[in-house]
Structure 1
Amino acid sequence: MKKNVLIVGAGGVAQVVAHKCAQHNDVLCDIHIASRTVSKCEKIIASVHEKKAMKVEGKLKAHALDAMDVAATRALIEKTGSQIVINVGSAFVNMSVLSACIETGAAYIDTAIHEDPLKICETPPWYANYEWKRREECEKAGVTAVLGAGFDPGVVNAYAALAADEYFDEITDIDIIDVNAGSHGRWFSTNFDPEINFREFTGQVYSWQDNEWKSNQMFEIRKEWDLPTVGTQTTYMTGHDEVHSISQNMGIPNVRFWMGFGDRYVQVFTVLKNLGLLSEQPVTTAEGLEVVPLKVVKAVLPDPSSLAPDYTGKTCIGDLVKGKKDGKDREVFIYNVADHEEAYAEVGSQGISYTAGVPPVAAALLIAKGDWDVKKMVNVEQLPPQPFLGLLNEMGLPTRLREDEEDRALKF
C-alpha cells in the first residue's frame, strides 16, 4: 500500500532521507519536508530534482514547521495526509513529534534518542526516561513507532538481532564499533550537529558489563581494532543509544560502544570542556546577554552539511559479536563500509549523513509494505532484521561478515 511521508528536519541526514524517499516514491508516494527554515527544505528539494531522484512523477513539497509545537505538527500531518513521519530533526523534538503521530495515527520513525535540552546523560537505560514510558500509549492508539532506525542506533541493532537469529545459540558480548576514516579537509568540525555531537560525550560513559551498568569518563578507556578496509583504528569506549536498548531487550551480559576519534578531536574537546564551553546551562555575559556556551560553539563551527563536497575516505561500522554456537566459541564481525565520495555523488551528502539517512527510509518502506507495521513502539532489534538488511543491500548500505580469515557479503 502506498503511504505519504512527512520528513521532519532539513539537515544533512534529511537530505539523504528525501533523496531515498524520492527514489522509492512508487511506494512512499507524496513526500513532504518540514523545518523551521523552509528555505533549507527548498534547497533539499532542488537537490532531489537536480539528481533526478524521483522514481515516478509525484509530489515533493516544503513546509515551515516548529516541530516542538504538537498542534502545528499534528495539523501538518493531517493537511498533507502523511501516514509515515520520519523524524530526523533535533533530538529535542522527538517527544513532540511522537505526540502528534499518536494523535493522528501516523507511524513514527526516528534515528536518535530523545534529549531534554537542559539535561546531559540521564540515568540508564536512557530509553526508559522518555520513549518507553509511552509504549502503552502507542499500543493503545495502534501506532507503529520504530525507535533509533538510523545506523547506530538502527542497523547495528539489526546486526545484533541477526547474530542472535542465525549465528549464535548464546551471545555473551557485543562490541559496537564506529570508525570514520574519512577526511573533510577542515581544521576542526563535527560530522553532525555539533550540539548533539558534544552532548553525547560530556557526561558519564555508560556501558553494560556483567549484566549491570558501569560508568567511566570520556576518553578514559581506549582500544585499537583491526577493521576491514580502514585498517587499524583507535577508538574510545563511549556512551550511546543502542547500548541502552540492546542490553535490556536482548538479555546480553556485555554491550559496549566504541567510537573512533583522532587526536585533534580529543584535544579540542578537552579544551572546550575544561573551559566550560560545552555546558548546556545558560550563562550571562558582562553585557547582560544570556547565552548557552554549547550553542555558541555550535554557531562558530562549520555546518556539517557543508563538509560533503570535500569529504574523502570511508566509514566502517559494525558489531563484533562473541558467544557460542553448537557448544563452540564463536566470534563474528557484521559490518558495513560506506564511501564519502560515493554518497556525495548520489545524494549530495557525506557518508555519515548517508549511513544515518538511508536506514529510516528502509524502515518506512517496510512499514508501508506491512512487514514492520507492528502497531506498537519497538526498537530495531525487536523487529525481523532480514527484510531490513536485505533492503539496505539494495539501497546502498550492504552488509558483510568477517569470521576468522573469511570475509563475505551477506544475502537476505
Structure 2
Amino acid sequence: MKRNVLIIGAGGVAQVVAHKCAQNNDVLGDIHIASRTLSKCEAILESVREKAAMKQQGVLKAHQVDAMDSGAVAALIRETGAQIVINVGSAFVNMTVLDACIDTGAAYIDTAIHEDPTKICETPPWYGNYEWKKRDLCAEKGVTAILGAGFDPGVVNAFARFAIDMMDEVKSIDIVDINAGSHGKYFATNFDPEINFREFTGVVYYWEDQQWKEKKMFETGHDWDLPVVGTQRAYQSGHDEVHSLATNYPQADVRFWMGFGEHYINVFTVLQNLGLLSEQPVKTAEGQEVVPLKVVKAVLPDPSSLAPNYEGKTCIGDLVKGTKDGEDFEVFVYNVADHKEAYNEVGSQGISYTAGVPPVAAAMLIASGDWDAGTMKNVEELDPKPFFTILDKIGLPTRMQIGGLGGEDKPWNG
C-alpha cells in the first residue's frame, strides 16, 4: 500500500488537493506541499488548519522547490518519503516531475498534458509529444503514472469509459463543459490565464471519421440543454482528453465543447487581435523584452481571488452515442458542482474544486492498490467504478441520463 503524498503547486487547485488529502489522511498518510514560493504553500496549509480539515493527526508540511529541476524534485521526494506525487503545478513542469517520479519510484498523477512554453497546439495526439514517450520506461521500472486525472481531462475520460462499457459499439463522444457561475469581475480566467489563453489561441483539433480535423476557435457553437444549468451555448474547442480518447477509441468521433459568454469572446478577440496573447517575446520602445501573454496574466485577477464572490453552478458531462443490442443507444454522464459550496468547504471556487478533487480520488485508489497500475495510464484505461465511488463520497457525485440529454436521470449506480 502506497502512502504519503507530495503535492506540487500552490494555486487554487493545489488548495483543494491539500484540503481533500487532509480530509482523507487516514488513507493517504503524511501530506507535503511544495512550490517555488514557500509562503503560498504555508498559506494553503494554514487554510487547512483553519478549516480543521485533518481527519486525524499527522504530518502537514510546506517545502520550497523549483519543479523545473527534476533532481531537486527527486531529492524532495526522498526527503519526505512520499510515495504518491500529485502534480498540480503548471503544465510546463509535467515532464521534470514525471522524471523525478520515475527516478524515485513514486507514483505520479497530473491533471493536464505537458506544454512547452515556446509552442502552442503541437501535432496531435498531444500526449505523444511528451508523456507517452516515457510509457515504456514507466512499465520497465514499475512506476504508476496516471495522466490527466483532473476533471477534464480526467473524470470526463472515466465518464466516456463508463458509457462505452454499457454499449456494444461507440460512435461518438461529445464532452460538454459549462460554467454557469459568475465571479463579478469585468474579465478574469478561472485558472492560470497563461494556460487558459494558450488553449484557445491555436488550432481546434478534433477526431472525426477516424482522422484528425481542424477548426478555428469559436467557429462552431451549439446550444446544449443541460441538467440544472439549462440551455447554454458552447463552442467546439481543442482539449487534452480528445487526444487520448481518440487513440483509445479510434472508431468514435471525439469532440470537446466549452461554454463561453459573448463578453468573454469579445475581450479575448480584442486581446488576440492586438497580439497580447502571443507567447513570443517583444521589445518595448525602451528596449525591455517582455512576453505579451505574461503581461496580460500579470494584470488580470489571480484566479484564486475569485472564490469569495463566486456564485452559480458548473455542469460538465459526456454525451456518448453508440449501439446496444442492435439499436441506437445514448447516455449523458455528468456532474454538477456549486461554486459557493466549494468555497465554504475548502476556500476555492468551483472550477478549482472540480479539478482538485479527482486527483485526490486517484491517489486514494493508488493507495488502495485499485489503480496502482505499475505503468503509465490515461484515466479511460482504468476501471471507472471505484473512481466514481470515491468521488461520490468526497464531493463530486456522478449522475447520468439514459437516452441522452433529457432522458431518465439517476445516479450512476442507481
TM-score range relative to shorter protein: over 0.9
Q: How many residues align?
A: 411
Question: Are residues 1:232 and 2:247 paired?
Answer: no
Aligned: 1:170 with 2:162: no
Q: Distance in 2 between matches of 1:259 and 1:122?
A: 20
Corresponding residue for 1:21?
A: 21
Give the C-alpha shift of residue 261 in structure 1.
0.2
- The alpha carbon displacement at 1:251 in A equals 2.7
CA displacement at 1:323 relative to structure 2 = 0.6
Q: Is the 8 A contact 1:246 1:252 kept in 2?
A: no
The code of the aligned residue for 1:411 comes to N
Q: Specify the SS of the correspondent of 1:200.
A: helix
> Which residue in the other structure is 2:64 paired with?
64
2:51 paired with 1:51: yes
Distance 1:208 1:253 in 2: 8
Report the equivalent of 2:142. 142
Normalised to the residue count of structure 1, the TM-score between the two structures is 0.99
Q: Deviations over 1:291-310 (max 9, x none)?
A: 11000000000000000000
Name the counterpart of 2:34.
34
What is the CA deviation profile of residues 266-290 of structure 1, one whole-angstrom value per residue up to 9, with x for unaligned ones? Answer: 0011011111000001111111111
The answer to whether the aligner puts 1:377 opposite 2:376 as a matched pair is yes
Within 2, Cα distance between the matches of 1:111 and 1:50?
A: 27
Asked whether 1:282 is paired with 2:284, we answer: no
**Mapped partners of 1:99, 1:156: distance in 2:** 26
Show the counterpart of 2:192.
Answer: 193
Does the CA-based 8 Å contact 1:45-1:60 persist in structure 2?
A: yes
Structure 1 residues 173-322: aligned runs within 5 Å: 173-322=172-321
Local SS of the residue matching 2:53: coil
Aligned to 2:100: 100
Q: How does 1:75-154 map to 2 (within 5 A)?
A: 75-154=75-154
1:10/1:34 contact within 8 Å kept: yes
Which residue in the other structure is 1:391 paired with?
390
1:156 corresponds to 2:131 = no
Within-5 A mapping of 1:332-347: 332-347=331-346
Please tell me whether the aligned partners of residues 173 and 319 of structure 2 are also in contact (alpha carbons under 8 angstroms): yes
- Secondary structure, counterpart of 1:103 in structure 2: helix
Residues in 2 aligned to 1:143 and 1:243: alpha-carbon distance in whole angstroms = 25
Checking the alignment, whether the CA contact within 8 Å between 2:2 and 2:83 is kept in structure 1 is no
Distance in 1, Cα, partners of 2:16 & 2:266: 31
- Match in the other structure for 1:408: 410
> Structure 1 residue 264: deviation in Å?
0.8
Name the aligned partner's letter for residue 82 of structure 2: S
CA deviations on 1:373-395 (whole Å, 9 max, x unpaired) are 01101100000110001110111
Task: Give, in angstroms, the shift of residue 330 of structure 1.
Answer: 1.0
Hey, which bits of structure 1, 4+ residues long, moved more than 6 A?
none
1-structure distance, mates of 2:232, 2:251: 26
Mapped partners of 1:17, 1:377: distance in 2: 21
Aligned residues of 2:207 and 2:246 also touching (Cα < 8 A)? yes
Question: How far apart, in 1, do the equivalents of 2:331 and 2:27 lie?
Answer: 35
3-state DSSP class of the match of 1:242?
Answer: helix
Q: CA deviation at 1:2?
A: 5.3
- Residue 2 of structure 1 contacts residue 26 of structure 1 at CA under 8 Å; is this kept in 2? no
Mapped to 1, the partners of 2:174 and 2:273 lie a distance apart of: 29
**Is 2:21–2:31's contact at 8 Å kept on the other side of the alignment?**
yes
Give the distance between the partners of 2:141 and 2:34, measured in 1 at CA.
Answer: 24
Where structure 2 has 5 or more consecutive residues not aligned to the other structure, the ranges are none
TM-score, normalised to structure 2's length? 0.98
**Structure 2 residue identity aligned to 1:194:** P
Separation in 1 of the partners of 2:308 and 2:411? 29
Identical columns (%): 73
Cα distance, 1:252 vs structure 2: 3.4
The amino acid across from 1:366 in the alignment is L
Residue identity matched to 1:74: A
- Please tell me whether the aligned partners of residues 177 and 318 of structure 1 are also in contact (alpha carbons under 8 angstroms): yes
Spell out, residue by residue over 1:174-215, the C-alpha distance to the aligned partner (whole angstroms, 9 max, x if none): 000000000000010000000000000000000000110000
The aligned amino acid for 1:182 is G
For 1:257 and 1:221, the matched residues in 2 are separated by 11
* Contact 1:334 1:402 (C-alpha < 8 Å) held by counterparts: yes
Check the 8 A contact 2:2/2:84 in 1, yes or no: no
8 Å contact from structure 1 (residues 309, 344) kept in 2: yes
